[in-house]
Amino acid sequence: MTGDLRLAGKVAFVTGGSRGIGAAIVRRLAHEGAEVAFTYTRSADSAEALSTALATEQRTAFAIRADSADPDAVRNAIAATIAKFGRLDVLVNSAAISVTGPFPEYALEDFDRMVATNIRPFFVAAQAAARHMQAGGRIIAIGSTVADRTTFPGASVYAMTKAAVASLIRGMAIDLATRGITANTVQPGPTATDMSPDAGPHAAYLKGLVPLGRLAKADEIAGLVAYLASPEAGFVTGATLTINGGLGA
């Protein structure tokens, strides 16, 4: 973990920050000096544990219960962040779900739920956050390499939602450039989390797809996010940055 406080004085808002990649991002941004608010839906114990652990390290992480599929909840969470910290500099959208299944039998209800959870909340959050950001603001979406290469069956709709997010980011980057706000997508490959552990039932198959022969660590994804949130990334915008161990290279 870096000891560099390059995000000191910044306020970050992370959706889906209580577990997995989202929690790693919250920890990394906080350790780099940012005051961080993050949302969770059902993982209250995980959210509380993360906030408490960072508080013992003299870092700030403010947990907000908000269903990402509820636009008002997302807007209210951003408003609560600004009310608490007085500003907003970084938005990271990590909240997402994956409902897989063969395309011919894929239920329309699942399609609608994927769009309502993976695409619409990011649009809502980014629009609300951008209204409060000053020059130097950062909008970062966590996408997936399946947006470019759908490497396993049943992932067509999930891939579509992640491709939509990357496309939205590119247009957003152009619209926000005149205000000095950047917008970028991070596309992880297979990553070890509590929901997809390194020794889980699908790990061997996933590792076999990756030239480096392993799953990504959540901290590695968080490191790339922290770079994009930092002053060093001021000229990076509209980019899709892949971190997948060479998958599909």
Q: Which residue has the tokens 């990334």?
A: 233
Has residue 220 been placed in a domain? Answer: yes
10-residue block means of pLDDT along the chain (249 residues)?
A: 79 95 97 97 92 95 94 96 97 93 95 95 96 97 92 90 97 98 96 75 84 94 98 98 91
Q: Is residue 164 part of a domain?
A: yes
pTM: 0.94
Write the Ramachandran bin of 136: left for phi over 0, alpha for psi from -120 to 50, otherwise beta. Answer: left
Question: Does residue 193 sit within a domain?
Answer: yes
Residue with tokens 């970062």, as numbered in its chain: 140
Count up the domains in the chain and report the number: 1
Question: Which domain CATH number covers 45?
Answer: 3.40.50.720
Detail the DSSP E strand segments found in the chain: 11-15, 35-40, 61-65, 90-93, 138-142, 182-188, 191-192, 216-217, 240-243
Pair of tokens at residue 174: 């152009």
Residues 55, 64: Cα–Cα separation, whole Å: 16
DSSP state of 246: T
Please tell me the predicted confidence (pLDDT) of residue 26: 98
- Is residue 67, in this structure, part of any structural domain at all? yes
Q: Is residue 56 part of a domain?
A: yes
Residue 213 token pair? 């022969």
- Per the domain annotation, does 238 fall within a domain? yes
pLDDT in the model for residue 194: 73
Residue 25 lies in a domain: yes
106 is catalytic: no
**Is 249 a member of any domain?**
no
- Select which of 106, 158, 205, 227 is catalytic: 158
Q: How far is CA 105 from CA 117, 158, 207, in A?
A: 20, 15, 28
For residue 90, the enclosing domain spans 11-243
* Beta-carbon contacts of residue 41 (< 8 Å; ≥ 6 apart): 16, 65, 66, 67, 68, 95
pLDDT at 1: 46
Count other C-beta atoms under 10 Å from residue 44's C-beta.
Answer: 12
